[in-house]
Amino acid sequence: MSTNPENSESEKTGSENAGTGPAGSGYAVPADLVPESAGETVAQQQAREAALQNAAAAEIGDPADHLLVAHEVKSGYIPEVNILNGCTLTLSEGEVVGIIGPNGAGKSTLIKTIFGLIPVRDGTITLRGASIANRTAHELVSRGVGYVPQTQNVFPSLTVEENLQMGVYLRPKTFAPRFAVVAELFPLLADRRRQKTGALSGGERQMVAMGRALMMEPSVLLLDEPTAGLSPIYQDEVFERVKQINSAGVSVVMVEQNARRCLQICDRGYVLDQGRNAYTGPGTELLNDPNVIECYLGTLAQAG
């Protein structure tokens, strides 16, 4: 049984990924595939991409120095059509890393590829230096990677407690102690443990989904748009919970539509565009980068 109810199926400034073809490969980025940034010529865009690419290769160094590394990953759904065209992301112990970008940029695809739901066609994905590319979900969960899909992330006909039991189906005896830990983070889960999950609000269901993923005591939590469809109050709560989860020792990669809020809470952010890394850097720097603001944040960036 899969832990995924769908059962389916990132530095330092200007650094990490460049997102344009294998590092050092000399791969030429077609001009029409390079994300256009405000006020940049194509040559400037390519120079920025190349600088990011080189910085990414330099920063990654030994993949074993990072908790998670996705390097120059290519993947897609349809044969010979890549959605990811060479994405690179690193996650270090204790970090929250955000992935933002326009609709269809490949953000969810990157998370799904890391979690083995979409085959890696090129590039590498490593956890503490060991390859995890194309592994099954249960192998990844066993190795300490948790994943919360964007949709259909709970079993609505089961109670909250039963959903959380599903989270530890690989280690059922750990339910009680893990439930105690997860309920500390999400008191609601203890209060509603006998209630059918389908009767909960969208925000509450998101707490169940995150709680379920935490039951296996992951070291890495992959969150796909955890605030999608939630009211602003619940969005705030989700961001607060993510910070708490991180404070509790879990490193987090989150894809977010709410780009500004995401960059405010994450240590580093990755802007994806057309399946490539467009910008990377500390969240606060990206929030104040004029190109990022104009192309990806708009007026939201100045909203406070």
* Position 79 contacts ligand ATP (CB under 6 A): no
21 or 106, CB closer to ligand ATP? 106
Residue 112 CB, nearest approach to ligand ATP (Å): 7
* Position 24 contacts ligand ATP (CB under 6 A): no
- Pick one of 3, 108, 113, 197: the residue that binds ligand ATP (CB under 6 A): 108
Residue 172 CB, nearest approach to ligand ATP (Å): 32
Count of residues making up the chain: 304
Compute the distance between CA of residue 260 and CA of residue 264 in angstroms, rounded to an integer. 6
* Position 103 contacts ligand ATP (CB under 6 A): yes
* Position 229 contacts ligand ATP (CB under 6 A): no
What is the rounded end-to-end Cα distance, in angstroms, of the chain? 45
Neighbours of 171 (CB within 10 A): 14
- Pick one of 6, 77, 119, 177: the residue that binds ligand ATP (CB under 6 A): 77
The set of residues, in sequence order, having a beta carbon less than 8 Å from that of 102 and lying 6+ positions away, is 273, 296
> How many residues in the shown chain lie near ligand ATP by CB under 6 A?
12
The set of residues, in sequence order, having a beta carbon less than 8 Å from that of 132 and lying 6+ positions away, is 114, 116, 125, 126, 139, 140, 143, 145
Q: What 3-state class would DSSP assign to 109?
A: helix
| Residue pair 116/137 in contact by the 8 Å Cβ criterion | yes
* Position 106 contacts ligand ATP (CB under 6 A): yes
> For residue 185, which phi and psi values (nearest 5 degrees)?
-75, -35
Compute the distance between CA of residue 176 and CA of residue 157 in angstroms, rounded to an integer. 22
Within 248-287, which residues bind ligand ATP (CB under 6 A)?
Answer: 257
67 or 83, CB closer to ligand ATP? 83
28 or 78, CB closer to ligand ATP? 78
Residue 121 CB, nearest approach to ligand ATP (Å): 14
Report the interface residues with ligand ATP, using CB under 6 A. Answer: 77-78, 83, 101, 103-109, 257
